[in-house]
Structure 1
Amino acid sequence: MNPKTQGLSLLVGAALLALAGAASAQTVRIANQGDALSLDPHSLNESLQLSVDSNAYEALVGWNKKLEMEPRLATSWKQTSPTVWRFELRKGVQFYDGTPFTADDVVFTMGRIMADGSDMKSYGTDVKETRKIDDHTIEIETKSPQPILPQILSQVYIMSKKWCEANDAVKPVDRRKGVENTASFKTNGTGPYHVRERQPGVRTVFVRNPRYWGKIEGNAQEVIFTPIANPATRVAALLSGEIDVMEPVPVQDIARVNANAGTRVIAGPELRTIFLGMDQKRDELQFSSVKGKNPFKDVRVRKAFYQAIDIEGIKKTVMRGQSRPTALMVGPGINGWTEAQDKRFPYDVAAAKKLLVEAGYPDGFEVTMNCPNDRYVNDGQICQTVAANLSKIGVKINLQAETKGTYFPKILRRDTSFYLLGWTPSTYDAHNVLNAIMHCPDDKTGAGQFNLGSYCNPKLDELTAKIGAETDQAKRNAMIKEAFQMHIDDVGHLPLHQQMLAWGVSKKVDLVQLADNYMPFKWITIKP
């Protein structure tokens, strides 16, 4: 055994031993293929991190078990004018350290998400000003009418102004630069759980917050979250009873987990869309054999890549049927999706070769592809299959697959030519993906913050602004359809599929699976 493998085995073994030793009737042990990269809720707009952090931190509004909006730190909200929303804040709420929650914390948080290093700027794109009216009332003024502002704010977790100032955490950690601060490792939220212990990459231990203002329906007193990257080790830990919950279950192991006497798989559709992005900004494509120009600036090259990908083959062989191929950047369950538009360009190798010839690349070219191998379902295998598909049209892919801990900082710096990403619209509305993924990048407003290949169509941006301000639902959906068609015609990104959720769960555990892949600990019950 080489030293690296030995070290990984020892790390996983130590984590499983700790889990086994901590087992009790009201301890829930959860394993995931990756870790939350930070406890700072504004440092990375990634659903696993936001899911984990949401157990300690809360937003003004949230989502119930049916994904319907409900009050959290705000008890009510209303528009007092086309561009002003007023929020009445919950009284009697305390942060974990005992500091009262007030309007000052909301004003501070809305400024923090727009600070340097924040990965949440796209949530404040349309905000002009956040004003304190009194200790338990705030107003948010937007630059134009914003009918879905409460939905947008559901991902903006409120932090204590006093605690952040005292702990040198006024600004979020910057994942692009590897900068850390106290908020990276400690929590001080208003949520139902608090982090007692944090060992990045090893385990994070949550305990109930005795100051929590709301009801905790489950009985978990302690939750131990452990990253176990190796799928076989993760499954074995579930089957042996060393852990109680795991996700994702490898598609090839679903039948095995269901056949085991003490475990089951909870499966369902996920709102996340997996897609490929390409650098369309640089005049010369880096990490490529092409010199002096950028082939991805040519729509014919982008379409050639699209038509060379055998998406049904990926569904059958890589995903074992647990995916839904898509032509859109959103799927069913997101407002703005229509079945009529969700028709992919046909898989056609001959047509793809012809497009490359027309674009001036008859022999193809070489380019590096960046991919995570521990973030999405079978992400590494997907990228391997895409590389094999593209080889059929003369494109040589140098695949760089790595853990998300190093992957995300790299692509967030736009230090990539070709990459894989997944996106779940947190508002369950198409405007979210239009603004964050398809908008021309604007560092000042935060629009296009996750458009990492810098696709840009100013007409689509104009339409996105109109969609954000339109209150007539029929007109709004018609504009969304028009915007999506622009993106389809431009081949702005290469949509692949919506993956299916598969959680492995002990039969002693009851929990709620949400289509956004969040896992609230307050709804978990474990039987002796």
Structure 2
Amino acid sequence: MRAVALATALSVALAGCGRASRGPEGGEGASGTDSARQRPVVVLQGVDATTLDPAGHAETPAYNILNNIYDTLIYRNQDMKLEPGLATEWRTLNDTTWELKLREGVRFHNGDPFNAYDVKATIERIIDPEEASPRRNNLSAVQEVRVIDDYTVHIITSVPYPILPNRLANEHVISAEYLAEYGKEHLANNPMGTGPYRFVRWVKQEEVVLEANPDYWRGAPQIQQVIFRPVPEAATRISQIQTGQADIAVNIPANQVEALRNDSRVRIVEVPSVRVIYVAVQTRRGGILANPTFRRALAHAIDGEALIENVLMGNGYLMATALTPQHFGFNPDLQPYRYDPDLARQLLAEAGYQGEEIQFDTPSGRYAMDKEMAEAIAGQLAQVGVNVRIQVNEWGNHVDLMTSREQKGIYILGWGNATWDADGTLSPLLFGDGAFSSYESPEVDELILRARSTMDPAERERLYHEALRMIHEDAAHLIDWRQKDVYATSTRIHWLPRSDEEINLFSATWAG
């Protein structure tokens, strides 16, 4: 029997998670007026969730809402270290069997006790091909979940799967009985978990309202009511913070940051993000975009440093791939494509480009300056003679376009890989069957599969380095940049941003 991971005590670890002190009943550890504390804390995201089904999405806006309603088996703290959640211990019994011991005494919001059957239902639903979950690739190595007793499960994998704990840290646990009684359509609109907040209502494209769970197993939240609202326009998000209508706003434009730092009504908080934004190419439909020489021409036509400096106002980091240096498997030998418009024109001629129109899909308001970056990139491509047409999409339609593989040109998307392992990026984005992949290479697929099932860290790293080298050489992405997450908050709360972009209000407190 070989132990691979054994969790430490949750009570000790929570002390380092950036939480303020609390009163004996989840009361306030900081002062504030009664009237201010009676108002809900309002969070402004750029877009609404597409669903509130934990297995039905692969997006941060939905995850942020659900993270306040549900718990995960394993928790990642403010420093991105793994800690016990609904699982108190985890270890390997052999190369393909993980044992998890579960937390006793936890109840769902409807009063039902949490147990091993909920874990089984959660995982087996995600991996069921008929469910077509966009999260399926996260747990694709899992074959079966065996219930040993009410608080012990064995997870059986088809191959050795060293990153399973990392994966479980991102999967919200549902109630098996609730799903069986009401069905997945009801679940998608009326989530019910074990987390710090209970679901109240969702008015689509307007707001999701949550209320504190006074019986939460970690203690009652200090903030009693939370509202998530989608506000695509950055100026509107900023205005609502300044006028006291909101408390947390995402994606503050770089050109507004300095002015807001001098506004006594606003706090600016920022952190280097786990998220990498990229421009990907639809290579699966044939035509000029399937030609790697043409893709390399586009990559050399983009001046990434100028984009970071002039569009993002320095609030970003140009990357060679969609992995940050903090991710396991990052290849430090790769560099972003050099800006060289003359070489770009030469490669366009070699590729036989005849002026075909290239559609460029982008969201607006989902990522910081996303539409503006698309417009600037299109301008740079036009300078070397590439005919680009910008298509701005509503976020839900943009996601559907990617997952349905109906996208026909190039597109902006972002990926926040909170597993901190290369597999969490390569499998969904650059593996042939990945939910968001527009690239396919049998050689790269083989490297990803081998790395996923290799227990030796050095060999896994070598395989990832080689896969990234091939992807980079193929110009599957034209440009990658790491986002700096900049938030504006009101002065009545204390809340710390996280590199994985999670917005969890259990850690928020009233400000003094």
2:432 maps to which of 440, 455, 463: 440
Give identity over the alignment, percent.
Answer: 29
1:135 maps to which of 140, 143, 150: 150
The amino acid of 2:417's aligned partner reads P
For 1:115-165, what per-residue CA distance to the aligned partner results, in whole angstroms no more than 9, with x for missing partners? Answer: 424111111211111111111111111111111111111111111111111
Quote the residue 2:282 is aligned against. Answer: 279
Q: Is 1:409 aligned to 2:400, yes or no?
A: yes
Q: Is 1:365 aligned to 2:356, yes or no?
A: yes
Alpha-carbon distance between aligned partners in 2 of 1:369 and 1:272, rounded to the nearest angstrom: 21
Q: Is 1:32 aligned to 2:45, yes or no?
A: yes
Quote the residue 2:321 is aligned against. Answer: 328
Quote the residue 2:175 is aligned against. Answer: 160
Alpha-carbon distance between aligned partners in 2 of 1:274 and 1:395, rounded to the nearest angstrom: 22
Alpha-carbon distance between aligned partners in 1 of 2:365 and 2:407, rounded to the nearest angstrom: 18
CA offset at residue 195 of structure 1? 1.4
Quote the residue 1:236 is aligned against. Answer: 239
Please state whether the residue corresponding to 1:141 is helix, strand or coil.
strand
Please state whether the residue corresponding to 2:380 is helix, strand or coil.
helix
Alpha-carbon distance between aligned partners in 1 of 2:315 and 2:458, rounded to the nearest angstrom: 33
CA offset at residue 196 of structure 1? 1.1
1:450 maps to which of 421, 428, 436: 436
CA offset at residue 210 of structure 1? 2.5
Quote the residue 2:413 is aligned against. Answer: 421
CA offset at residue 474 of structure 1? 2.1
The amino acid of 2:187's aligned partner reads A
Please state whether the residue corresponding to 1:151 is helix, strand or coil.
helix
Alpha-carbon distance between aligned partners in 2 of 1:479 and 1:282, rounded to the nearest angstrom: 28
Quote the residue 2:225 is aligned against. Answer: 222
Contact map agreement 2:234 2:365 (CA 8 A) in 1 = no
Q: 1:522 to 1:26 in 2, by over 3 A?
A: farther
CA offset at residue 24 of structure 1? 3.3
Contact map agreement 1:48 1:518 (CA 8 A) in 2 = no
Alpha-carbon distance between aligned partners in 1 of 2:411 and 2:152, rounded to the nearest angstrom: 43
Q: Is 1:506 aligned to 2:490, yes or no?
A: yes
CA offset at residue 37 of structure 1? 2.2
CA offset at residue 527 of structure 1? 3.5
The amino acid of 2:442's aligned partner reads P
Q: Is 1:487 aligned to 2:471, yes or no?
A: yes
CA offset at residue 83 of structure 1? 0.7
CA RMSD after TM alignment: 1.6
Contact map agreement 2:269 2:496 (CA 8 A) in 1 = no
Please state whether the residue corresponding to 1:339 is helix, strand or coil.
coil
Quote the residue 2:27 is aligned against. Answer: none
Contact map agreement 2:282 2:289 (CA 8 A) in 1 = yes
Alpha-carbon distance between aligned partners in 1 of 2:219 and 2:253, rounded to the nearest angstrom: 34
CA offset at residue 26 of structure 1? 6.3
CA offset at residue 202 of structure 1? 0.8
Alpha-carbon distance between aligned partners in 2 of 1:457 and 1:472, rounded to the nearest angstrom: 24
Contact map agreement 2:36 2:492 (CA 8 A) in 1 = no
Gaps of 5+ in 2: 1-34
The amino acid of 1:374's aligned partner reads G
Q: Is 1:79 aligned to 2:92, yes or no?
A: yes
CA offset at residue 87 of structure 1? 0.5
Please state whether the residue corresponding to 1:65 is helix, strand or coil.
coil
Contact map agreement 2:51 2:188 (CA 8 A) in 1 = yes
Alpha-carbon distance between aligned partners in 1 of 2:289 and 2:183, rounded to the nearest angstrom: 42
CA offset at residue 381 of structure 1? 0.6
CA offset at residue 25 of structure 1? 4.5
CA offset at residue 432 of structure 1? 1.5
TM-score (norm 1): 0.87
Alpha-carbon distance between aligned partners in 2 of 1:321 and 1:344, rounded to the nearest angstrom: 17
CA offset at residue 309 of structure 1? 1.0
Please state whether the residue corresponding to 2:127 is helix, strand or coil.
coil
Please state whether the residue corresponding to 2:37 is helix, strand or coil.
coil
Please state whether the residue corresponding to 1:155 is helix, strand or coil.
coil
Please state whether the residue corresponding to 1:437 is helix, strand or coil.
helix
Quote the residue 2:80 is aligned against. Answer: 67
Quote the residue 2:59 is aligned against. Answer: 46
Gaps of 5+ in 1: 1-21, 170-180, 284-293, 442-447
Quote the residue 1:14 is aligned against. Answer: none
Alpha-carbon distance between aligned partners in 1 of 2:89 and 2:162, rounded to the nearest angstrom: 15
Contact map agreement 1:192 1:208 (CA 8 A) in 2 = yes
Alpha-carbon distance between aligned partners in 2 of 1:245 and 1:272, rounded to the nearest angstrom: 19
For 1:72-117, what per-residue CA distance to the aligned partner results, in whole angstroms no more than 9, with x for missing partners? Answer: 1111010000110011111111111111111111111112113424
CA offset at residue 471 of structure 1? 2.2
Alpha-carbon distance between aligned partners in 2 of 1:54 and 1:404, rounded to the nearest angstrom: 20
CA offset at residue 211 of structure 1? 2.9
In the TM superposition, 1:327-406 aligns within 5 A as 327-341=320-334, 343-361=335-353, 363-406=354-397
Contact map agreement 2:281 2:411 (CA 8 A) in 1 = yes
Q: Is 1:526 aligned to 2:504, yes or no?
A: no
The amino acid of 1:102's aligned partner reads N
Contact map agreement 1:372 1:380 (CA 8 A) in 2 = yes
Quote the residue 1:8 is aligned against. Answer: none
CA offset at residue 41 of structure 1? 1.3
Alpha-carbon distance between aligned partners in 1 of 2:251 and 2:369, rounded to the nearest angstrom: 9
Contact map agreement 1:331 1:498 (CA 8 A) in 2 = yes
In the TM superposition, 1:230-269 aligns within 5 A as 230-269=233-272
Alpha-carbon distance between aligned partners in 2 of 1:49 and 1:494, rounded to the nearest angstrom: 27
Contact map agreement 1:123 1:156 (CA 8 A) in 2 = no
Quote the residue 2:196 is aligned against. Answer: 192
